[in-house]
Structure 1
Amino acid sequence: MTITAADMALYTAALFALFLTPGPVWVALIARTLSGGFSAAWPLAVGVVVGDVLWPLLAILGVTWIVSVYADFMHVLRIVASVTFIVMGALIVRHASRTIGSDSRLTRPGMWAGFLAGVAVILGNPKAILFYMGVLPGLFDLTRLTGPDIAAICFASLFVPLTGNLILAWFFGRARALLTSPTAVRRINRIAGGLLIAVGCAIPFV
């Protein structure tokens, strides 16, 4: 392996920070938890793993070439991600009174439906795209990575968010009765929307 324990520790910390930032996966996970409890949410968390492994692989295999050809690619990606976060946050705040479980595409019952929802939400997650395509190449020299290095990065990319998502689903499952009240939902939506807007505003300066 060419990457050190310190490199992996820094990457793991970055993954944890990524997990703590509210985004589409949180919305989907909370929606399924509130609609069907932990048993409805864990298949979604497993589905998210598909993207959490796919995105770092794409970053390792493709970003170096893309940046070498299109020098402004990362700058454009930052702007797109920033605008996306701000719009998402504004929409959540605007519809703060809407119950989280009202989107039937996220709350459709069944393990397979939950898994597919997880795959869809992570593949279209701008937060994940920005992180893996923007931050990952800055943490490692992608041109020197070996097979074991790539395996270690993919495992960390899988393990950290999966563990966090399962804990999150368990927590919201326990608090399900409280969080389904209109007042609590409105407050959570406003806070989540505000955080998304804040992240979107901060991205261009990171």
Structure 2
Amino acid sequence: MLDPAALAVYAGALFVAAALPGPGVAALVARVLGRGVRESLGFAVGIALGDLVWLGFAAAGLAVLAQSFSGVFLAIKYAGVAYLLYLAWKLWTTANLAQVVERDASREGGWRSFLGGLSITLGNPKVMVFYTALLPNLIDLGRLSPASFVELAIVTEAVLASVFGFYIVLAGRARSLLTSPRAMRLLARSCGTIIAGTAVTIATR
């Protein structure tokens, strides 16, 4: 079992890091605004599970190894950038947001949405730094047992669920207030701009 005080400090640090708007949050909010809550859940799950991948690297002492294979994560990073740019293009070129959401819901399966969110987290420098540099200063990873890792993983996903849930609900309510075709078109293009900006931010870090 992890020390409760250390676990609380970790949870607090993760909450602050996750709540501060970054590429992942920006992409999630823009996706909810553009496609709705339901079509964004797989994306959010992918983002959250990406954190577990980095947590696993840190817990297994593979942070240095992960940096050694930086080329692999660089490829994942640009795959996420390409996916975001695709979403931005789709939102900018649609005339009716409601129709494109309905049409893409059948074309873009849950797995594709999930992998898009996962690739964003795996290639997000902010997440990398948190788990490979900051985490070892919060938790004694040298004494981390399998049971303690599970405990840490549960806390991680609980914190991320609360943060992402807040942003999803907030974005979902904002989206429901905009119903006219003109408002929906402006919303789609605004979301496309945010997502494109997120892609550029990730690509240049």
TM-score > 0.5, shorter chain as reference: yes
**Equivalent residue of 1:62, what SS?**
coil
State how many pairs are aligned: 161
Structure 1: gaps spanning 5 or more residues: 68-72, 78-100, 201-206
- Equivalent residues of 1:55, 1:129 under 8 A apart: yes
Q: 1:168 deviation in Å?
A: 0.8
Aligned to 2:111: 112
**Identity over the aligned pairs, expressed in percent?**
31
Deviation readout 1:41-94 (Å, 9 max, x if unpaired): 111111122212111110111257x39xxxxx8xxx9xxxxxxxxxxxxxxxxx
Aligned to 1:5: 4
Aligned to 2:15: 16
Aligned to 2:88: 102
Whole-angstrom distance in 2 between the partners of 1:140 and 1:111: 34
Aligned to 2:74: none
Aligned to 1:33: 32
Q: 1:103 deviation in Å?
A: 4.3
CA separation of 1:42 and 1:133: change in aligned 2, threshold 3 A: same
RMSD in angstroms over aligned alpha carbons? 3.4
TM-score (norm 1): 0.65
Aligned to 2:83: none
Deviation readout 1:88-139 (Å, 9 max, x if unpaired): xxxxxxxxxxxxx62449x864423221111111111111111011111011
Whole-angstrom distance in 2 between the partners of 1:113 and 1:5: 37
Q: 1:179 deviation in Å?
A: 9.1
- Equivalent residues of 1:44, 1:119 under 8 A apart: yes
TM-score (norm 2): 0.65
Aligned to 1:155: 154
Whole-angstrom distance in 2 between the partners of 1:127 and 1:179: 32
Aligned to 2:126: 127
- Equivalent residues of 2:15, 2:159 under 8 A apart: yes
Aligned to 2:95: none
Whole-angstrom distance in 1 between the partners of 2:89 and 2:3: 43
- Equivalent residues of 1:34, 1:180 under 8 A apart: no
**Equivalent residue of 2:149, what SS?**
helix
CA separation of 1:20 and 1:57: change in aligned 2, threshold 3 A: same
Aligned to 2:140: 141
Structure 2: gaps spanning 5 or more residues: 71-86, 92-100
Whole-angstrom distance in 2 between the partners of 1:104 and 1:14: 35
Question: What is the identity, as a one-letter code, of the residue corresponding to 2:52?
Answer: V
Q: 1:141 deviation in Å?
A: 1.5
Aligned to 1:83: none
**Bigger CA drift: 118-127 or 156-165?**
156-165
Question: What is the identity, as a one-letter code, of the residue corresponding to 2:169?
Answer: W
Question: What is the identity, as a one-letter code, of the residue corresponding to 1:171?
Answer: L
Whole-angstrom distance in 2 between the partners of 1:116 and 1:63: 23
- Equivalent residues of 1:12, 1:156 under 8 A apart: yes
Whole-angstrom distance in 1 between the partners of 2:170 and 2:137: 33
Greater than 3 Å deviation, 4+ residue runs: 107-110, 178-182
Q: 1:181 deviation in Å?
A: 4.4
2:50 paired with 1:48:
no
Whole-angstrom distance in 1 between the partners of 2:170 and 2:184: 11
